[in-house]
Structure 1
Amino acid sequence: MTLGCVAYIGPGGGVTVGALLVILIGGLVLFALGFIVWLRIKRFLRGQGKAKWGLKLVTQLVALTALLSVFGWMAQHRAKKDRDFGTLNSVVEALSGFPDMFKQSVEEVQTLPQTFVPTPADFAPVNRLEQDVLTLTAYSNAQDGRTIAVRNLRDGQELHRWTLPDTLGPLKPHWRVHHPILLEDTSVVSFITNRSPLFRLDAASNLVWRQDSLSFHHAINRAADGSLWVCAMRWERGGRHIAYRGRYRMGDRTVHFLDNSVARIDAGTGHILEVHSMAEMLMDNDLDHLILRSGDAQDPLHLNDVEPVLSSSDHMKQGDLFLSFRNLQCVIQFRPSTAEVMRVIDGPLAAQHDVDIVNDSTLVIFNNNVQENNGVYTNKAHKYPVSKDQVEVAHYHSQITRVDLGTGAFTPLLPALMAENGVMTASEGLQEALPGGRWFIEEQNSGELWVVGPEGVLYHDVHASHHDGHHHLPNWTRVLPAFP
Structure 2
Amino acid sequence: MLNKGKIVSVVALLYLLSVGFFAWGLAAGHYKIFPWKQIEVIYWDLHAFFTFKDGPPKTVKEKILLDIQERPTQFDFSGFKLRDSTFQDTGYLLMPRYSKKDGQVIVELFSIADKKIVHTWVPPLDEIFKQSKVEQTGANSVNEYRAQHPLLLKDGGLIFTSGEGPMVRINACSELVWVNDRHFHHSIELNADGNLVAPIVMAPQVPETVLPIRDDGFAVISLDGKILNEYSVTDILLKNGYRGLIYGVGRFEMDRIHLNDAQPILKDINGVQTGDVALSIRHLSTVLLFDPQTGKIKWLKTGPWLSQHDINVLDDGRYSIFGNDIIRKQDTSQLLVEKDMSNIYVFDAKNGSIEQPYKSVMAEYKIATGSSGRLKLLTNGDAYIEESDKSRIIRISKNKVRWEYVNAVSPNTVGAVHWTRYISQDDIDLQWKDNLACD
What TM-score do you get using the length of structure 1 for normalisation? 0.68
Distance 1:270 1:294, change over 3 A: farther
Q: Find the aligned partners of 2:380 and 2:267 in 1 and give their Cα distance.
A: 23
Contact 1:312 1:360 in 2 (8 A): no
Kindly provide the amino acid, as one letter, of the partner of residue 204 in structure 1.
Answer: C
SS at the partner of 1:359? coil
The yes-or-no answer on 1:204 pairing with 2:173 is yes
SS at the partner of 2:184? strand
Aligned mate of 1:337, from 293, 296, 316: 293
Distance 1:296 1:353, change over 3 A: farther
Match of 2:436 in 1: none
Kindly provide the amino acid, as one letter, of the partner of residue 421 in structure 1.
Answer: Y
Distance 1:247 1:448, change over 3 A: same
The yes-or-no answer on 1:180 pairing with 2:140 is no
Q: Find the aligned partners of 1:455 and 1:284 in 2 and give their Cα distance.
A: 44
Q: Find the aligned partners of 2:216 and 2:116 in 1 and give their Cα distance.
A: 37
Distance 1:202 1:394, change over 3 A: closer
Contact 1:246 1:258 in 2 (8 A): no
SS at the partner of 2:395? strand
Q: Find the aligned partners of 1:230 and 1:163 in 2 and give their Cα distance.
A: 22
What is the CA distance between 1:221 and its match in structure 2? 0.6
Q: Find the aligned partners of 1:283 and 1:215 in 2 and give their Cα distance.
A: 23
The yes-or-no answer on 1:127 pairing with 2:83 is yes
Match of 1:475 in 2: 418
Kindly provide the amino acid, as one letter, of the partner of residue 393 in structure 2.
Answer: L
SS at the partner of 2:172? coil
Show structure 2 runs of 5+ residues with no match. Answer: 1-50, 131-140, 431-439
Show structure 1 runs of 5+ residues with no match. Answer: 1-10, 21-104, 237-243, 250-254, 379-392
Aligned mate of 1:445, from 382, 386, 389: 389
Contact 1:14 1:116 in 2 (8 A): no
Kindly provide the amino acid, as one letter, of the partner of residue 457 in structure 1.
Answer: V
Distance 1:367 1:443, change over 3 A: same
Contact 1:191 1:199 in 2 (8 A): yes
Q: Find the aligned partners of 2:318 and 2:333 in 1 and give their Cα distance.
A: 36
Aligned mate of 2:189, from 208, 217, 221: 221
Contact 2:196 2:221 in 1 (8 A): yes
Match of 2:71 in 1: 117
Kindly provide the amino acid, as one letter, of the partner of residue 148 in structure 1.
Answer: V
Q: Find the aligned partners of 2:242 and 2:92 in 1 and give their Cα distance.
A: 40
Kindly provide the amino acid, as one letter, of the partner of residue 472 in structure 1.
Answer: G
SS at the partner of 1:418? helix
Contact 2:206 2:235 in 1 (8 A): no
Q: Find the aligned partners of 1:474 and 1:227 in 2 and give their Cα distance.
A: 25
Q: Find the aligned partners of 2:111 and 2:323 in 1 and give their Cα distance.
A: 26
Larger radius of gyration: 1
Quote the RMSD (CA, aligned, Å).
2.9
Q: Find the aligned partners of 1:410 and 1:375 in 2 and give their Cα distance.
A: 32
Q: Find the aligned partners of 2:331 and 2:306 in 1 and give their Cα distance.
A: 12
Match of 2:118 in 1: 159
The yes-or-no answer on 1:270 pairing with 2:239 is no
Kindly provide the amino acid, as one letter, of the partner of residue 209 in structure 1.
Answer: W
What is the CA distance between 1:111 and its match in structure 2? 5.3
**Count of aligned residue pairs for this structure pair:** 356
What TM-score do you get using the length of structure 2 for normalisation? 0.74
What is the CA distance between 1:406 and its match in structure 2? 2.6
What is the CA distance between 1:234 and its match in structure 2? 3.0
What is the CA distance between 1:15 and its match in structure 2? 9.2
Aligned mate of 1:317, from 248, 273, 287: 273
Q: Find the aligned partners of 1:308 and 1:15 in 2 and give their Cα distance.
A: 33
Match of 2:313 in 1: 357
What is the CA distance between 1:411 and its match in structure 2? 0.4
Q: Find the aligned partners of 2:411 and 2:57 in 1 and give their Cα distance.
A: 13
Distance 1:261 1:377, change over 3 A: closer
String of CA shifts for 1:73-94, please: whole Å, max 9, x gaps: xxxxxxxxxxxxxxxxxxxxxx
Q: Percent identity?
A: 26
Q: Find the aligned partners of 1:427 and 1:210 in 2 and give their Cα distance.
A: 27
Q: Find the aligned partners of 2:340 and 2:241 in 1 and give their Cα distance.
A: 33
Residue correspondence of structure 1 range 50-449 to structure 2 within 5 A: 109=64, 112-113=67-68, 115-120=69-74, 122=76, 127-128=83-84, 129-141=87-99, 142-154=101-113, 156-165=115-124, 166-169=126-129, 171-196=141-166, 198-212=167-181, 214-235=182-203, 247-249=208-210, 255-267=211-223, 269-291=224-246, 292-295=248-251, 297-373=253-329, 395=339, 397-449=341-393
SS at the partner of 1:327? helix
What is the CA distance between 1:407 and its match in structure 2? 1.7
Distance 1:377 1:147, change over 3 A: closer
Kindly provide the amino acid, as one letter, of the partner of residue 229 in structure 2.
Answer: E
What is the CA distance between 1:282 and its match in structure 2? 1.1
SS at the partner of 1:256? coil
SS at the partner of 2:177? strand
Distance 1:139 1:258, change over 3 A: same
What is the CA distance between 1:235 and its match in structure 2? 4.4
Q: Find the aligned partners of 2:274 and 2:339 in 1 and give their Cα distance.
A: 39
Q: Find the aligned partners of 1:121 and 1:341 in 2 and give their Cα distance.
A: 43
SS at the partner of 1:290? helix
Distance 1:235 1:434, change over 3 A: same
String of CA shifts for 1:406-426, please: whole Å, max 9, x gaps: 321010121111111111211
What is the CA distance between 1:169 and its match in structure 2? 2.6
Distance 1:169 1:424, change over 3 A: same
What is the CA distance between 1:256 and its match in structure 2? 1.8
String of CA shifts for 1:95-152, please: whole Å, max 9, x gaps: xxxxxxxxxx8xx725511x22321464695533522331111123323243212113
Distance 1:294 1:324, change over 3 A: farther
